[in-house]
Amino acid sequence: MGKTRVAERGIYQRGPYSFQVKLMVDGHLITGTFDSLEEARAYRNSKRAALALDPDAQRVLDARVKRHEVKAATLSLVLDRYQKEVSAKKKSAESEAHKIARLKRSKLAAKSIYRITADDVVAFLKELKRDQPGPLQGQPLSATTKRKLAALISHVFTIARKRWRMDVSNPIADIELPSAGRPRKRRLEDGEEQRLLHELAKARQAAIVVPMVRLAIETAMRQGELLALDWKDLRISGKHGTATLHDTKNGEPRIVPLNATACEILGAMPRPLKGGPVFPIRTPALRAIWELASERAGIQGLRFHDLRHEGTSRLFELGLDRIEAAAITGHKTLQMLADYTHLRAERLARKMNEAANSLELAGRPL
């Protein structure tokens, strides 16, 4: 008997009078051996037609395909598709990429999306801890971070069901999310600003992070806005200037006034001839430098975003009203602005005393 050769698609000839049919139809293997090519061809074509018309055979094949899909559609693979087709089009693509990476490092990522239950998600959220190297490694993640990860999982399931027509149910709908908690009121305490800047100055990228932190305090700009700031967006004339923000959280451009201190900070930075980002640093590198400097400075519970609280509160302490402050910070509502404003009781007491003294000097009764 000679060597096997392909006679036609799905038909293999093993000799002058041996033709074997071997083909897969929707994952189902079909075989048969015949004396002539014509017989083999007729058998192949008939089987294809029969499987296409026989509802029972089709149900068997559908069940096999379903089992294969269930096994193959792990959360990790679905997250890859989500990141490519959904997340990449968002303004928050970079920050969401960190959340997706965090999910993919978990045990949950290896499970089929069809078999993830509410109990699985609850266990995942309960066990969440910082797993990146650094001073805070091993510490539990905040309730806010857990809520954000749960929201991401929920949206992944929603997209899978509505857009990709996967027959899955959303496990987030059946769990009680961690409490959102109260708005943060963390501000820089006595000496913290100096100690923090002192430790940041020891970092390899100190020429970037030190002025970035100082500018965050002076302008109340968000971390993402600072990272997106380009030299061409700055207009500085002496002791005043402006920074035009094109990519803001609320989607609307904003012009931030720069005071003398902010202009001094930016003026002391080396400006490349070709321009480019004012603060060329990636978020993970910035986070690592921040955490190490905070630990060395003996500062606990301070996040970069708290600098926005600090800057916003200082605007009010300078005497700006809510409308003026909102124009600088970009808050859409006065309530949102109030959440970011935490005036020091000591400053308010001094202001009350000054007002009382002014009234007394004017001869008005208190």
Instruction: Please tell me whether the overall predicted TM-score, pTM, comes out greater than 0.75 for this model.
Output: no
Which of the residues 249, 287, 296, 303 is marked catalytic?
Answer: 249
Known catalytic residue at 351: no
Residue 337, both tokens: 């602005």
Cα–Cα distance list, 172 to 100, 159, 204 (Å): 16, 14, 42
* Angle, alpha carbons 341-347-348 (nearest 5°): 75
- Of 49-53, 162-166, 246-250, 356-360, which has the strongest mean pLDDT? 162-166
- Do 8 and 39 meet the contact criterion of CB atoms below 8 Å apart? no
C-beta neighbour count of 141 within 10 angstroms = 18
Which of the residues 187, 222, 309, 314 is marked catalytic?
Answer: 222
Token look-up 């006595």 returns 190
CA distance 280 to 278: 6
Known catalytic residue at 198: no
C-beta neighbour count of 207 within 10 angstroms = 14
286: pLDDT confidence band, cut at 50, 70 and 90? very high
pLDDT of residue 34: 86
CA distance 101 to 121: 16
- Listing DSSP states for 307-329 in one string gives HHHHHHHHHHHTT--HHHHHHHH
Q: Which residues contact 56 (CB under 8 A, 6 or more apart)?
A: none
Query: Which fold does the domain 73-174 belong to in CATH?
Result: DNA polymerase; domain 1 (1.10.150)
Average pLDDT over residues 275-289: 92
pLDDT digits (tens, 9 = 90+) for 176-226: 887 766 666 788 888 999 999 999 999 999 999 999 999 999 998 989 899
pLDDT digits (tens, 9 = 90+) for 326-336: 778 877 666 65
135: pLDDT confidence band, cut at 50, 70 and 90? low
Q: Which amino acid is at 342?
A: H
What does pLDDT average to over the chain? 82
- As a whole number of Å, the CA-based R_g of the chain is 32
pLDDT of residue 136: 62
Known catalytic residue at 308: yes
Known catalytic residue at 17: no
Known catalytic residue at 43: no
Which of the residues 44, 99, 102, 331 is marked catalytic?
Answer: 331
Superfamily (CATH) of domain 192-350:
Intergrase catalytic core (1.10.443.10)
Every domain of the chain and the residues it spans: 5-71, 73-174, 192-350
